[in-house]
Amino acid sequence: MLRSHTLGNQLLILIAILLLFPVLLTLYMLHVIQNSELALVEYQKAKLGRALDELDNSLQGSLNDILAGKQASGATRAEKIRILNEALKDKIEQVSASYPQVEMGFYSLELDAILDGSENYEENFSKRRKALFQEALSRQQTVVQTIGHTSAGVLETYKPFYRNGRLEGIVWAYENMAQTNFYKRVKTFERNAYLIIAAGVIIGLGGTLLLIRNFVRNVNQIKQGVKKLEYDLLQRLPETPGELGEISRAVNKLACRLVEVHKYNEIMMATIDDGLVVINAAGRVIIVNTAAAQMLGMAPDWPDRHYQEVFPEGSPFADLLTRTLENNEQLKDLLIPWHQKGNGTQQILVSTAPMVDHRGETIGAVLCCRDVTERMRLEERAHRQERLAALGKLVAGVAHEIRNPLTSISCYIQLWQKTNNPSPKSIRTIYEEVTRLETLVAQLLYFTKPAEARFGHHDLNQLVEKVLQFFTEIHLARFTLVRRLGENLPPAWMDPNQMERVLMNIIFNACQAMPDGGTLTVATHYHPEEDWLEVTVSDTGCGIPAENLKQLFDPFFSTREKGIGLGLAIAHEIVQAHGGQIEVESEVGRGTTFRVYLRTPKDGEPGA
């Protein structure tokens, strides 16, 4: 007896399931066929609904409009019924032409009579239909009634119709289901379905029994070939017909690709600039590429040796692999100075990571290294050039800002030498220029060596209110101030004196941008997902051109004629020192918005 877990038996079970499927499908189709009459009724309901809509739309005015047009508003009931039947006859026949075997017409609520274009002017409906008319009128919605068995019954539909907002009566239609040909189609469908299912079962059963033996034999051949591939990738599976042949060819191609990939890996490891060292769980070296061997000074006979034995004496790299292999510790971008004879001191950027399998078990460790000596040398040279350029820009800005006040002072002194009589205006101007120089020197000193920040836990809303109180008393008489301070904000990690200077500078700039008045909006908000506190200052001033936004925080850049250009530069430095961010958005003619982001205190940071 074959064991139940063999591939052959599994295939037999699968085929049995596939053969059972048509049987289940047959049962399901019988159920569907039984319900097909219901589907037919729904189709007929929809058709009658369309007929009622067309008949309703064919009557443009009301029934009373027809009587008025015939000058029969005062006629007797029987005369009105006769006139309406004659007037509606053509409309009913026109719509009926599109729906053969469907009878339709109107029911007048006022006359209590059916209007179907016939010559029967007396009471022309049964009590049953009278009840259906009343039901549709009282519910004011379409009523559908099926009478008798669906295959030989009658389907009736009654729909209220309105004119000028007034309920006129009922539009009705009915159809004798026995006159339709849908049931013949259902019977034909049933017969064809049974024949197809029977043929499919016979062909499937016979074909399956013929193919099963060859299929199992071919599968066994492939299984034996795959076992050989486990130890020798140069082995090839035998050719077999059909889908199994495609599997054999695919496995053979995969084996060829694995051989090629192995060769590619060897070439790639030998040519990449980054060093790579791979060890297994036992500490045996599996991979060392050429770059790692040269960079780390490893022994040339490294294959299958313990990693502690292949690194030079005093090398820190073996200890890094030990930490990773034993503690599952991942190390990222460690900069290690490494001295080798003949190569001098190299700056090696090292990263290590444990290797785990699909079960999460450690199977080894990998060390990646890169010689960044030349890159660091180039970066230092670039930084030196940037510092020199920044110094030149700073000197140029200082010279420009100092030259203007000195020119004014020099002109007035020359004037005094000629007139020997200094005027109060000239003295005041000299005083203002000296004050400006003093302010410039103070800001330069702060910019080059900022005051030491005293961080602590502080209420951001309280600081904003303090700054706004100052501006309300001095500057904001001609501005509309809008406060939108968030509630229950966490404390901010900041130096309140330095952040007060930042907000004072931003709000002062906003006021300067609105010389004719405007709206100043100050808001605070907490972003819990990023753990940031935000202060927003918006004005409706002149705005800043887009080409100036990138230079806005540069020293000595100012869009005002008498601006020094250090305020926003200092504000930017203060926010950066707080570990925060400052952003600006502006549109010329519409205003500017500054956003300052501050972080909240971290665990272990002392309060104020």
Q: What pLDDT band is residue 4 in, cutting at 50, 70 and 90? A: very low
Distance separating alpha carbons of residues 201 and 515, to the nearest angstrom: 91
Say which residue, 505 or 526, is predicted with more confidence: 526
Average pLDDT over residues 10-37: 66
Most confident of 197-206, 258-267, 310-319: 310-319
pLDDT tens-digit profile of 46-87? 888 888 888 888 888 888 888 888 888 888 888 888 888 888
Residue 116: name the closest of 154, 157, 125, 164 by CA: 125
Write down how long the chain is. Answer: 608
- Terminal C-alpha separation, the chain: 85
Least confident of 133-142, 216-225, 479-488, 553-562: 553-562
* Per-residue CA distances from 235 to 71, 216, 220, 226, 227 (Å): 104, 22, 16, 9, 10
Q: What is the pLDDT, as a whole number, of residue 403?
A: 59
- Structure token digits, residue 242: 């059909």
C-alpha 205/C-alpha 444 separation (Å) is 95
Query: Where would I find the beta strands (DSSP E) of 465-541?
Result: 479-484, 492-494, 518-527, 532-539
Of 288-302, 397-411, 461-475, 515-529, which gets the smallest average pLDDT?
397-411
Q: Is the pLDDT reported for residue 499 higher than 70? A: yes
Q: Please check whether residue 333 is in contact with residue 349, taking contact to mean a CB–CB distance below 8 angstroms.
A: yes
Choice between 250 and 525, residue whose per-residue pLDDT is larger: 525
Higher-scoring residue by pLDDT: 97, 2: 97
What are the chain's domains? 1-34+181-271 (no CATH), 41-179 (3.30.450.20), 272-371 (3.30.450.20), 377-448 (1.10.287), 456-599 (3.30.565.10)
> Which of 63-77, 438-452, 579-593 is predicted least confidently?
438-452
CA distance to 364, 432, 513, 583, 599, per residue, from 593 (Å): 54, 31, 12, 8, 20
The confidence score (pLDDT) of residue 530 equals 87
**Rounded distance between C-alpha atoms, residue 298 and residue 208, angstroms:** 63
The pLDDT score that the predictor gives to residue 294 is 80
Please check the confidence at residue 551 and state whether its pLDDT lies above 70.
yes
pLDDT winner (highest mean) among 287-291, 573-577, 580-584: 580-584
- Look at residue 538 and tell me whether its pLDDT is greater than 90: yes
Mean pLDDT of 397-424: 66
Whether the predicted pLDDT of 196 surpasses 90: no
* Confidence check: pLDDT of 564 > 90: no
pLDDT-derived band at 442 (thresholds 50, 70, 90) equals low
Taking phi first (over 0 means left), then psi (-120 to 50 degrees means alpha), and beta for anything else, what does residue 556 get? left
Is residue 99 pLDDT above 50, yes or no?
yes
Mean pLDDT of all residues belonging to the chain: 78
Cβ atoms of residues 62 and 164 within 8 Å: yes
Which is more confidently placed, 599 or 212? 599
What is the per-residue pLDDT for 3? Answer: 44
